[in-house]
Amino acid sequence: MPVLAAEKLTYKKVRELDKQRAVCFMPVSALEVHGPHLPLGMDFYMARWMAEESGRRFAERHPDWNVVQYPPLPLGTDELPLAGSMHTDQRTVFTGVRNHGESLAQAGFRYIVVTNGHGGPRHAAALESACRAVSRRHGVQMFTPSIAVLHEIITGKHFAAVEELLGRPLSAGERAGALCGEHAGTWETSFMLAQEPELVEPEYTFLQKDAPPPFRPLQTFARGLVSLQEKRGKDTTELREMGERLAGGIGWLLNTRYGYGGPAVSYQGVPAVASAELGDAFRELLARRCLEILEEVTAGQRDARTVRSLASASPIVRPRFWSRLAFAAALVVALPFLF
């Protein structure tokens, strides 16, 4: 069966679908400033493309299944607070995605894939938490593979595959640019050069390495915590990376709002080494890895709730953590007066 656009389905056709053998794709990403050279919809384009391409490939492999594409949701949190970015609080992102997922589950769909191109920690945590909540409550398989897949690529875990797709080794500049963080840097600029090059401002070729200033107090605290855990013989890989990410995110927020650390930074990475050739390899890896995870879930080889990224590692960035903590604290204070 061809890929179906949800907005074109009638009630009759929805009822006729074999929902036990159907995959729904729902892109969710922010509209956000991406340097001086990329469109506000960078993450939006990526989320939509991942849904469309992964869905197309799954439909080709499984002609007896239904693939239903839902319109993208322009929702996101942890955006750069610069003119053009559209901000939503984390609770709204979580609630919106959870409600959409519950609607699909109640309609009878069993497999729901949320695609995303925005790497904000609280945004990713909201999507993953919403997916787990729906999966747990309704017994369906709802998951978002995007952040885990993106993290694999931008941390260099697939360099060999990238070079195989390119048919050549990565240059020293490409390799370095691909490993120094990502927001409108080498990877995303390459993606858009391959996707819609007319939307990329030509000045990207002059944009060298840039990054937000980390919030030093938090960075120092996180490194101290990592050192303490290492002395206890514990693996601190995730803790170290999460600490650096949080310090960088808070520093970036303070930088763009209050000038912390210098002039406002609007991108992270090295746009100048980007290319459409690298973008084609990037897109292929995104689609390939998302499809692999989808195949594992639909084949019953993997539970959707295990599809999670670094964003789910720390409870402090998850939705409702602080409200629950406040409730627990209030309950502890109130207990002596209740008994």
- pLDDT tens for each residue of 211-226: 999 999 988 988 898 8
Residue 333 has pLDDT above 50, yes or no: no
CA distance 72 to 210: 30
pLDDT category at 329 given cuts 50, 70, 90 is very low
Minimal CA–CA distance to 52: which of 73, 26, 32, 31?
26
- Is residue 326 a part of any domain in this protein? no
Q: How far apart are CA 107 and CA 2, in angstroms?
A: 20
Share of the chain above pLDDT 70, in %: 92
70/241: higher pLDDT: 70
Residues 56 and 141 in one domain: yes
Same domain for 42 and 128, yes or no, is yes
Mean pLDDT on 297-323: 79
Question: Residues 124, 191: one domain?
Answer: yes
Rounded to whole angstroms, the Cα distance separating 39 from 276 reads 16
**Are 189 and 220 members of one domain?**
no
Does residue 110 fall inside a structural domain?
A: yes
| pLDDT of amino acid 325 | 44
Q: Let me know if residue 180 belongs to a domain.
A: yes
Same domain for 226 and 293, yes or no, is no
The residue segments making up the domain with residue 233 are 212-264
Indicate whether 149 belongs to any domain. Answer: yes
Please tell me the predicted confidence (pLDDT) of residue 28.
97
Does one domain contain both 100 and 219?
no
The domain that contains 34 carries what CATH number?
3.40.50.10310
Which runs of E-coded beta strand occur in the chain? 4-5, 22-27, 66-69, 111-115, 141-143
**pLDDT grade for 328, boundaries at 50, 70 and 90:** very low
284 found inside a domain: yes
Tokens of 79: 């955006």
Query: What pLDDT, in 10s, does the model give residues 167-196?
Result: 999 999 999 999 988 999 999 999 999 999
Is 144 a residue whose pLDDT tops 70?
yes
CA–CA distance, 217 with 30 (Å, rounded to integer):
29
pLDDT of residue 313: 65
The answer to whether residues 236 and 230 touch, using CB atoms and an 8 Å cutoff, is yes
Strand 141-143 to 66-69 pairing: unpaired
How is 222-260 classified by DSSP, letter by letter?
HHHHHHHHHHTT---HHHHHHHHHHHHHHHHHHHHHH-T
User: In the predicted model, what is the mean pLDDT of residues 42-64?
Assistant: 96
Distance CA 163, CA 326 (A): 49
CA 285 – CA 264 distance, rounded (Å) = 32
Instruction: Grade residue 210 by pLDDT with cuts at 50, 70 and 90.
Output: very high
Residues 6+ apart with CB under 8 A from 279: 189, 190, 191, 192, 193, 194, 195
Domain-embedded: residue 329: no
Answer yes or no: do 25 and 174 share one domain. Answer: yes
3-state secondary structure of 297: helix
* Dihedral angle sign, alpha carbons of residues 175, 176, 179, 182: negative
Question: Which residue stretches of 111-236 are H helix?
Answer: 121-138, 146-154, 159-166, 172-177, 186-195, 216-231
**244/167 same-domain check:** no
Is residue 256 located within the same domain as residue 297? Answer: no
User: What is the model's pTM?
Assistant: 0.90
Q: Is a pLDDT exceeding 90 seen at residue 337?
A: no
Same-domain pairing of 45 and 138: yes
> Which pLDDT does position 321 carry in this prediction?
54
Tell me what the pLDDT averaged over the chain comes to.
Answer: 91
Higher-confidence position of 62 and 329: 62
d(CA 84, CA 31): 8
Q: 113 with 221, same domain?
A: no
- Would residue 332 count as lying in a domain? no
Given a cut of 90, whether residue 100 has pLDDT beyond it is yes
| pLDDT at 323 exceeding the cut of 60 | no
Q: Is the pLDDT of residue 330 over 50?
A: no
d(CA 211, CA 262): 11
Q: Which two tokens stand for residue 15?
A: 């009822």
pLDDT value at residue 37? 98
Strand partners, 34: 36, 38
pLDDT reported for residue 229: 86
Residue 312: is its pLDDT beyond 90? Answer: no
Query: Which pLDDT tens digit goes with each residue over 116-135?
Result: 999 888 999 999 999 999 99
Q: Which of 109-118, 167-176, 239-248, 329-338 has the lowest mean pLDDT?
A: 329-338
> Do residues 50 and 196 both lie within one domain?
yes
> Into how many domains does the chain fold?
2
Residue 328 lies in a domain: no
